[in-house]
């Protein structure tokens, strides 16, 4: 256990009690993303009308909220860091790029090598000029924003993250948010959320970027709670989970997309607020569980690599004598393939992400994937 703690523990110092539920929430987020890709690849093993297949579809639906949870946590951390103190733009972006690019670059090179080794599976255009442009777009995380399929499928979310990193310090400086009252900042954040919805309705702008706003509002809500002390009742664990279940249920209804995203953002807001403000509650303790936190600490490596590892594992399984498809195979293979992806991601974390992007005893406010 000490060996694992030395390599995967990032919570140290006075802020650790607040940080630890956040690390566990990252672990939950990446497990949800895993479920999306596993249930998609393993769908042929299911009988479409069975109870097992229905449960798998529900897990797939819930899993789609994993990236949204990442966005809320990132919105909370980055906005909170920038509001707390003035930071020069270029050093701030340098730190953000250092956080993203060593791990992303390693996985990018791996995908490039595999594209050359297996051209039939490659997304790279055959013509040299087109290939060079496509690779440059992916290296700069522009491909999803330009309507191109990214080389690393999940990297579309990094494009959102990078845009948020660029826009947030500029908005804070342009509107003088640090010197504004909290009420003014909250009104401003709701105005930005309304602008995102308007952009989505008029131009198809990325609606899920509203999750960053939910994270920023989470920072403001925690600040307000510190100011008023015990004057407000916090949502309890049951209410937080009920809100999340209700928001996920809304995703299957024929409602407008902005309503669904707003409901999910509000539910994730409540979940995070409950865990951060009640780390000693039973839900907070769940997310302080060491294995879940360690998974959260390596969640960036896992997020980037798990899809490739899953695809390779399914390709290997296809070459073996096949047992009869069905629920037993579907659910039996899930923990095995989860273990495979965990092992590969742990190697990437220990060899690349931690030594190149994370200081060994980093300050808690910046630890983990931001």
* pLDDT per residue as tens digits for the range 123-165: 999 999 999 999 999 999 999 888 889 999 999 999 999 999 9
**Distance between CA atoms of 69 and 26, rounded to whole angstroms?**
8
Residue 118 phi, psi dihedral angles, 5° rounding: -130, 75
Confidence of residue 206 (pLDDT cuts 50, 70, 90): very high
**Distance between CA atoms of 150 and 141, rounded to whole angstroms?**
8
The rounded mean pLDDT for the chain is 90
Are the C-beta atoms of 62 and 347 separated by less than 8 Å?
no
What number is the average pLDDT over the span 260-276?
A: 96
Q: Residue 36's domain spans which residues? A: 2-366
∠ at Cα 244 (234, 238), nearest 5°?
A: 45
Structural domain total, the chain = 1
User: Could you count the other beta carbons within 10 Å of the beta carbon of residue 321?
Assistant: 4
**pLDDT, position 370:** 41
Decide if pLDDT at 366 tops 50.
no
Burial of 119 from C-beta contacts in 10 A (0-12 / 13-18 / 19+): exposed
Share of the chain above pLDDT 70, in %: 93
Indicate the pTM of the whole model: 0.92
Q: By three-state DSSP, how is residue 319 classified?
A: coil
**pLDDT, position 232:** 63
Confidence of residue 231 (pLDDT cuts 50, 70, 90): low
Q: By three-state DSSP, how is residue 279 classified?
A: coil
């Amino acid at each position: 256990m000490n060996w694992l703690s030395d390599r995967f523990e990032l919570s140290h110092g006075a802020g650790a009690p607040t940080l630890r539920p956040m690390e566990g929430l990252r672990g939950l987020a990446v497990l949800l993303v895993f479920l999306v890709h596993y249930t998609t690849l393993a769908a042929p093993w299911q009988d479409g009308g069975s109870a097992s297949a229905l449960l798998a579809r529900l897990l797939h639906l819930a899993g789609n909220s994993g990236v949204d949870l990442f966005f809320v946590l990132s919105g909370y951390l980055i906005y909170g860091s920038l509001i707390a103190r003035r930071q020069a733009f270029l050093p701030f972006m340098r730190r953000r790029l250092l956080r993203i690019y060593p791990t992303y670059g390693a996985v990018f090179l791996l995908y490039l090598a595999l594209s050359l080794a297996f051209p039939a599976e490659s997304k790279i255009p055959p013509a040299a000029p087109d290939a060079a442009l496509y690779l440059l777009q992916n290296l700069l995380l522009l491909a999803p924003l330009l309507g191109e399929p990214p080389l690393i499928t999940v990297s579309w979310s990094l494009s959102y993250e990078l845009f948020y990193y660029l826009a947030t310090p500029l908005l804070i400086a342009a509107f003088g948010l640090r010197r504004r009252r909290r009420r003014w900042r909250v009104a401003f954040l709701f105005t930005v959320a309304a602008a995102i919805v308007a952009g989505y309705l008029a131009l198809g702008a990325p609606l899920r970027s509203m999750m960053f706003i939910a994270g920023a509002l989470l920072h403001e809500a925690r600040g307000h709670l510190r100011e008023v002390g015990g004057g407000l009742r916090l949502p309890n664990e049951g209410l937080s989970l009920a809100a999340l279940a209700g928001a996920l249920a809304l995703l299957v209804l024929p409602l407008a997309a902005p309503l669904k995203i707003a409901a999910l953002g509000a539910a994730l807001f409540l979940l995070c607020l409950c865990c951060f403000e009640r780390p000693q509650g039973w839900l907070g303790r769940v997310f302080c569980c060491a294995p879940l936190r360690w998974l959260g600490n390596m969640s960036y490596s896992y997020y980037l690599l798990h899809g490739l590892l899953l695809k390779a594992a399914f390709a290997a399984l296809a070459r073996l004598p096949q047992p009869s498809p069905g629920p037993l195979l579907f659910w039996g293979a899930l923990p095995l393939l989860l273990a495979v992806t965990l092992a590969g991601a742990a190697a990437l974390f220990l060899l690349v992400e931690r030594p190149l992007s994370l200081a060994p005893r980093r300050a808690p406010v910046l630890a983990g994937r931001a």
